[in-house]
Structure 1
Amino acid sequence: MDIDGLKTFVAIAELGGFTRAGSRLHRSQPAISRRLGLLEQELGAPLFDRLRGRARLTEAGRAFRPHAEAALAALKDGQEAVRDLQSGLSGNLSLALVGTLADTRIVDTLSRFRRRARGVRLELRTASSAEVTDLVRRGEVTLGLRYFFADGADLVTHAAGAEAMLVVAAAGHPLAGRRLRNVTALSGERWIGFPPVRNERDSSGHLLARQLVRAGLDDADVTLIDSLTAQKRLAQAGFGLALVPESSVRDELRQGLLVTLDVPALRAVNPITAIHRRNGYLSPAAKALLALLTNKPLKPRRV
């Protein structure tokens, strides 16, 4: 099976169109169509429904996509393995991480790695936890750093620490500065949170729902907002309370835009995990960074 055909198929699937795939691969649209046609002929089934201005995966295309992505990831692994035979602690290393983790002590770990491995070019990408997992699974990055444990037998997950979750409210909230041992004081409060992530057993959305039930606030009014920035802005405006990672609100707390509520019944931590593909190749540089991230896990720290 032709590698260029696989690259063409994956590019169309990711970008949703032939023209955009051609731009990524530096090929004309007719050339993209020919490559895909040969692949579909070899497989004996159409992989896309051609719609106006876009392409949508058929059932055969959806079935074939993870195998095509795995094949391209394995090829990339092989190329890196050969290069590493001679180079040792050098070359490129890619890491995807949740953006809020860039405001934790993980940055110190990355700086320490760069000092130890000056011959390594560390490429960083930020994404949500679910997106980090997808990037690792597709082989677009070697390592991922995310909240919670990733599902799937094709991935290896390492504990890399934890981060405290804080209940935050608008400045001047009447319950600020008090320890709320009786959660009935929060009855009637509106909450702002993420929706639970589909196809994942745990996420920030799952955590909020679980903590509210455990605290006896299962009837709480929760507005689901799929943006951490929007959640913080709404909390600042007094629209509701939010349960967020400590690192995500450090600046707002320092500036007095938000305040924390001390609610023992709602105390929680987000596990931080490092992930990679189970059968993926880990270069010496990747192993060195993984050791730094997991040998001295981050511990949750209260404000």
Structure 2
Amino acid sequence: MDTNTLSAFIAVAESHSFSLAAQQLFITQSAVSKRIATLEEQLNQKLFDRIGRKVTLTEAGRELLPKAKTIVNAIKDAGRAMGNLSGVVKGPLSLAASHHISLHRLPPILRRFTKEYPEVQLSLRFDESEIAYNSVLHGDLELALITLAPKPDPAIHSKSIWVDQLKYVVAQDHPLASQKTVSLEELTHYSAILPGASTFTQQIVAEQFQKKSLNLNVAISTNYLDTIRMMVSIGLGWSLLPETMIDKSLTVLETGSEPIKRHLGYIHHRDRTLSNAASKLVDMLS
């Protein structure tokens, strides 16, 4: 049993496909099949059920998966720790960033980082904050730049870098646009356009309404803030947007309620040794 074999097992388990696993690992599908067959022989257990094109874990496979991830991540962590001793900044860096941060915060930082550390092989994913959060929590990513969770898992180290002041907004011709003040109760009578219910951003907003025993009236849900801004601007509903995204097509509503702030920053797993590359990127962010 070696890390290549376990990595193949993890890839098949997560993708539910031998062909997709082969693509992820940059090897042939037959090589993946051979590694799985070797692992099943070593453990004397069938790890996958193959019904047509569908690949699912057996009970033994489900039992092995978290242990396999722990082993692979521990070996990678040891490799990073040994590599860090040289002080050289190079090698792979797995990073995810939310769409908003990728568009509005990250470009100048990445430009500087890639110029200063050209030997770093940056693997950058654009994910929703919640997906990136779970990837860090489960050891699949070294770093993530996201909207920070209101109540993070104790295993997650988070650092706020930017703070978005969120404002209630409507289109200029919306019925509420002409009012000097608008209560949260009044907002519940109109359609809201917000990120999904599972997102950290909607959780922050919903908490303010829940404190007043009010329910959100969410008519449209999308996790792309630029899309939300467009839909609000054409009169499809109200929303909350960062001050930096508010333009002349929108009217800010004064609700008299406590200001809503959204913290953006980076996270990593507390038990994971950061590579020199990750540490340098964290230094730039800080």
TM-score interval w.r.t. the shorter chain? Answer: 0.7 to 0.9
Structure 1 residues 192 and 112: alpha-carbon distance in aligned structure 2, compared to 1, 3 A threshold: same
Count of residue pairs the alignment pairs up: 284
Residue 211 of structure 1 deviates from its aligned partner by 1.8
Which residue is equivalent to 1:190?
A: 191
1:60 and 1:238 mapped to 2: Cα distance?
54
2:285 and 2:26 mapped to 1: Cα distance?
37
Residue 37 of structure 1 deviates from its aligned partner by 2.6
1:24 and 1:68 mapped to 2: Cα distance?
17
User: Contact between 2:188 and 2:214, CA under 8 Å: does it hold in 1?
Assistant: no
After superposition, the C-alpha distances for 1:12-70 in whole angstroms (9 at most, x for unaligned) are 12222112223333444444233213323434443323222121233443343233223
Which residue is equivalent to 1:264?
A: 256
User: Contact between 2:146 and 2:265, CA under 8 Å: does it hold in 1?
Assistant: yes
User: Contact between 2:169 and 2:240, CA under 8 Å: does it hold in 1?
Assistant: yes
Counterpart residue type for residue 95 of structure 1: L
After superposition, the C-alpha distances for 1:123-175 in whole angstroms (9 at most, x for unaligned) are 43221112212332454432111112374343322233421222222342243
Aligned 1:212-251 pairs, distance under 5 A:
212-214=209-211, 216=212, 218-223=214-219, 225-228=221-224, 231-246=228-243, 250=245
Which residue is equivalent to 1:5?
A: 5
Q: Report the 3-state secondary structure (helix = DSSP H, G, I; strand = E; otherwise coil) of the residue aligned with 2:69.
A: helix
Structure 1 residues 159 and 59: alpha-carbon distance in aligned structure 2, compared to 1, 3 A threshold: farther
Structure 1 residues 94 and 168: alpha-carbon distance in aligned structure 2, compared to 1, 3 A threshold: same
- Where does the alignment leave 5 or more consecutive residues of structure 1 unmatched? 295-303
TM-score normalised per structure 1: 0.78
Residue 120 of structure 1 deviates from its aligned partner by 4.2
1:144 and 1:131 mapped to 2: Cα distance?
10
Which residue is equivalent to 1:163?
A: 164
Counterpart residue type for residue 205 of structure 1: Q
Residues 1:50 and 2:50 are matched in the alignment: yes
Which residue is equivalent to 2:279?
A: 287
TM-score normalised per structure 2: 0.82
Residue 269 of structure 1 deviates from its aligned partner by 0.9
Percent sequence identity over matched residues?
Answer: 28
User: Contact between 1:212 and 1:266, CA under 8 Å: does it hold in 2?
Assistant: no
1:130 and 1:16 mapped to 2: Cα distance?
22
Aligned 1:17-166 pairs, distance under 5 A:
17-105=17-105, 107-114=107-114, 117=117, 120-149=120-149, 151-166=152-167
1:177 and 1:114 mapped to 2: Cα distance?
48
Q: Report the 3-state secondary structure (helix = DSSP H, G, I; strand = E; otherwise coil) of the residue aligned with 2:86.
A: helix
Q: Report the 3-state secondary structure (helix = DSSP H, G, I; strand = E; otherwise coil) of the residue aligned with 2:257.
A: helix
Q: Which moved more, 1:179-188 or 1:30-39?
A: 179-188
2:216 and 2:197 mapped to 1: Cα distance?
16
User: Contact between 1:5 and 1:39, CA under 8 Å: does it hold in 2?
Assistant: yes
Structure 1 residues 213 and 17: alpha-carbon distance in aligned structure 2, compared to 1, 3 A threshold: same
User: Contact between 1:187 and 1:217, CA under 8 Å: does it hold in 2?
Assistant: no
Aligned 1:193-212 pairs, distance under 5 A:
193-197=194-198, 203-212=200-209
Which residue is equivalent to 1:301?
A: none
User: Contact between 2:196 and 2:223, CA under 8 Å: does it hold in 1?
Assistant: no
Structure 1 residues 125 and 105: alpha-carbon distance in aligned structure 2, compared to 1, 3 A threshold: same
Residue 91 of structure 1 deviates from its aligned partner by 3.8
1:177 and 1:102 mapped to 2: Cα distance?
34
Residue 79 of structure 1 deviates from its aligned partner by 3.1
1:234 and 1:90 mapped to 2: Cα distance?
43
Q: CA RMSD in A?
A: 3.1
User: Contact between 2:176 and 2:182, CA under 8 Å: does it hold in 1?
Assistant: no
